[in-house]
Amino acid sequence: MLNKPIGVFDSGYGGLTILKEIVERLPQYNYLYMGDNARAPYGPRSFETVYDYTLEAVKWFFSQGCSLVILACNTASAKALRSIQQKDLPQLAPDKRVLGVIRPTAEVIGYYSKSRHVGVLGTQGTVSSQSYLLEIEKFFPDIAVSQEACPEWVPIVENNAYDQPGTDEAIQTHLDAILQKDPQIDTLLLACTHYPMLMEKIRQFTPEAVSIIAQGGIIAQSLEVYLQRHPEIEQQCGKDGQLEFYTTGSTQDFDNHTANFFGRAVSSNLIQL
């Protein structure tokens, strides 16, 4: 068992796009990654189900010695984070913390746009929660935000279907749709942690003048600032520079996928929630 790791959770592979940047920026800590691949995608699931699954995951991270858990999943952040923070944590573990990815992203997204027109690409769950509209409005009321749900994109990543027929079309359709909703968009936010794994294709179908923003770097920076501001949490994070991976799905698929993406061999463990 890792010594007091920082927990990083996603419905599947997506959180790896966040973990990669976090480890690059803050290599000194121990990290425990868990992907609920067996139950992904979370995007089309109800609020109650995403909340139940996410709470199960958070309890598992706590049982593994984590004092800090990052929901590196927009859908879980949109549908479960607030209830967990306000309702569950005070009873379950008042000294532990669970953080999400929506607020830190909303806090900075306005700095990327000159036209003040931003497009948000996410899962059905994230888009219908309206979380980004509400959060960006708080920090940048002058920005016009358009949203587009891309329900095919997570299954493409989870099923490793990058080169299958129909994939390019599924990607292009949603990019065309959001730019049609607002042709003044100059910044597209990938508000699902799976989407950076499709970056090459997304770039291919997006006009050059439009910037595409992935969240990994933003979350890594905000975690660094958080740990500086919260020494009481930082002191509870082990610093041996170690990483462990768990999945509720196939460990072989996870290891193959992760090695590609992480640029290093990974040997994951199976976990049943």
Residues carrying an active site annotation: 73, 192
Distance in Å, CB of 121 to ligand DGL, minimum:
10
Q: How far is CA 10 from CA 18, 19, 205, in A?
A: 10, 10, 27
212 has which bridge partners?
188
Site for ligand DGL in 170-229 (CB under 6 A): 192-194
Q: Residue 119 interacts with ligand DGL (CB under 6 A)?
A: no
Greatest alpha-carbon span in the chain: 51
**Residue 43 contacts ligand DGL per CB under 6 A:** yes
| 104 is a site residue for ligand DGL (CB under 6 A) | no
Q: How near is the Cβ of 28 to ligand DGL at its closest, in Å?
A: 26
**14 makes contact with ligand DGL (CB under 6 A):** yes
Identity (one letter) of the amino acid at 253?
A: D
Q: Shortest approach of ligand DGL to residue 224 CB, angstroms?
A: 21
Instruction: CB nearer to ligand DGL: give 33 or 238.
Output: 33
- Nearest residue to 124 (alpha-carbon basis) of 254, 11, 257: 11
Residue of 2, 5, 6, 10 that binds ligand DGL (CB under 6 A)? 10
Give one DSSP letter per residue of 124-191, joined into a string.
HHHHHHTHHHHHHHHH-TT-EEEEEE-TTHHHHHHTT-TTSTTHHHHHHHHHHHHHHH-TT--EEEE-
Name the 3-class secondary structure at 19: helix
Check residue 67 for interaction with ligand DGL (CB under 6 A). no
From the CB of 49, what's the least distance to ligand DGL, in Å? Answer: 11
Peptide bond into 94 cis (omega under 30): no
Task: Quickly count: other Cβ atoms within 10 Å of residue 133's Cβ.
Answer: 14
Among 5, 7, 35, 41, binds ligand DGL (CB under 6 A): 41
Number of shown-chain residues binding ligand DGL (CB under 6 A): 17
Per CB under 6 A, the segment of 10-18, 128-136, 164-172, 259-267 that binds ligand DGL is 10-18
159, 88 in Cβ contact below 8 A? no
Angle, CA 121 vertex, CA 116 and CA 126 arms, to 5°: 110
Among 37, 123, 146, 206, binds ligand DGL (CB under 6 A): 123
Give the whole-angstrom CA distance, residue 270 versus residue 246: 6
Residues within window 72-91 making contact with ligand DGL, judged by CB under 6 A: 73-75
Give whichever of 2 and 40 is closer to ligand DGL, judged by the CB atom. Answer: 40
Q: Which is nearer to ligand DGL, 10 or 148 (CB)?
A: 10
> Which two three-digit tokens encode residue 81?
């984070």
Stretch binding ligand DGL (CB under 6 A), from 37-45, 108-116, 141-149, 219-227: 37-45
Contacts with ligand DGL by CB under 6 A lie at 10-12, 14, 40-43, 73-75, 123, 126, 154, 192-194
